[in-house]
Structure 1
Amino acid sequence: MSGTLLLKQSEIKNLITMKEVVSAVETAFKAFAQRDVQMPPKDYLFFHEGDLRIMPCYVRSTEEAGVKCVNVHPKNPQNHNIPTVMAIIELINPETGFPMAVMDGTWVTDMRTGAAAGVATKYLARPDSETLGIIGAGKQACAQLMALNEVMNIKKARVYCRTCSTRTNFAKTASELYGFDVEAVDSVEDAVRDADVVVTTTPSRKPVIKAEWISPGTHINAMGADAPTKQELETRLLLNSKIVIDSWDQASHSGEINVPVSQKVLKQKDIHAKIGEVIIGKKSGREDNEITIFDSTGLAVQDVVTAGMIYKRAKEQNIGTDFNFME
């Protein structure tokens, strides 16, 4: 038996494209909706400055299994010069439990999170959507733009974050990369008003988007809330919209809906569907000129399916380091 394949970030970055990750994540959501997945909700360890999440998953039909260990420490960049989010993914052989691969999960997390918004936008946004509002201008905002560019014909994007130089640099780089106009604006309202699609990628614990700023027919990808007490959208906006989630267990605990759920102003019956149910046709997607919201918490199945694709490509191309942990 060969050893465990070790894969670092520089080795996996060129193995798959965002278009392929969007497809993999759509497959993952579909498998979850079809009850083909064994996946307990992510578990948390809370530290003084951040947290650690453990995310296991087994996809029965494809015999893919693994676990992601991922941290979120918001003060890392300025205090330690390392990323806010870092992750490791271990892929397991379900038959024997042997560790087939251990790979960087930081890049995978960025990509599959962006891809989740891409899938939701494909099913929930108006087909003629062409203007995009982005709140936040960090690594995840870059991944969001990359994924949304795969599923919509973007003509113009507006970006806002609190640091002027950061949003200006984001706009300049993105305009050059994608060939459409990306404008840095001076407020959240300027970014989201009259946008066809809005994406939020902040760690905010108080709402940054007000209901009156959002037009009928808008689709919102709420990506930032990923722990208890985080919230980016005004509760009134949630109550006036069609809400689609990835998982009730996770979203009610730590997603965009967690605060109004804990306050008992939003209940499970108020949630329209899981995104996988929309994909398989069990529940409707967009109807008429309603406001749709996708509450993304990130599912282990997204990581395992994406990592499985990377592992296969790496084996085919003889990339990575074979390592025997048992020696």
Structure 2
Amino acid sequence: MRQSKSQLLAQESAEWHHRGLISAAVSAQLGRRYDRESASYSGLISWLALSAMCLLGFAVLAIIVLSSQSATLGGGILGAAAVALWYRGIRMTSDPLKRHPVTGSALVTVGLAAAYGAMTLLTLPIGDSFNDTRFSVLLTVTAALSMATAYQYHLRWPLLLSLLCLFHGLGAWHEYAGNGDYIANIQDPRTMAVIAALCANFGLWHQHAEEGRLRHLVGFGRLYVIFGLLYLDCSLWFLSLASYGEDHVLRWVLLFSAICVAQIIAGARLKEGKLTGFGIVFLSIDLYTRFFEHFWGRLSLGLFLLIAGLSAVVLGWLFERHAGAATA
């Protein structure tokens, strides 16, 4: 087989797995057959070249904007670059031969992110302070553009960007505080919990519909479920913290624990690994948080860690025993 044809088949099989059309085992088998490892090196070189070109281009744009000291000029230039990246990416993903589907999707996503930056620069002259309302509006607009692109051209990466922008626009934020510390917060966790629960349920419906009339949107529902469960559990976790400033903390602790257990049960019944996984992870976080809040100041550090470690070992042994009995 000619090397070019082998590389094409290797790229196609990788794209099939990326879009969720084949399993990981089938993808690995096809990768060995068509020498995907050697093809991946050429793909890596292409990605490095693309990254270098983008970085150089944005560096030149930054120099021009800084020299002009005009936010409006910078926004216009960045907006033109965003449109160019988006258009080129759409052309690549719409190629009938599907020669560069992943690269095209990446360019579209970068173009949409650049559009948010352009809108930010263009709105700076309106006021001296970049308030939260303007921040939320621009993120929501970017989310709408990204979602429209994702559904129009069947691209998952723009949908990922859309959900990130949407949830951050609704009041979720995080930042790096230095020294290995990260800070996260949700402006209104109660409202966010409701929205996230609706998003997760919509994702479960979307996944079911992808087996029929929405088969061309395979993988979209998975993103909705992941983001919905993440922000739902994080919102309830924040509300259950005694230091978060909410009243009726015990009520939120019980609700958070019940939701985690419900996710585990629903995941087992529906055979949905994401529900089970998020339920187990956040139930563990819940138990650790309660243990930390009630016993950290009463026990020495060594005894605290010893009890926590022994508890984890005992729970792991019980789970493994139960799993073995269930499969026997």
Q: Shorter-chain TM-score: which interval?
A: under 0.3
Where relative contact order (Cα < 8 A, 6+ residues apart) is larger, the structure is 1
TM-score (norm 2): 0.24
Q: From the two aligned structures, give the one with the greater helix fraction.
A: 2
The structure with the greater share of residues assigned to strand is 1
TM-score normalized with structure 1 length: 0.24
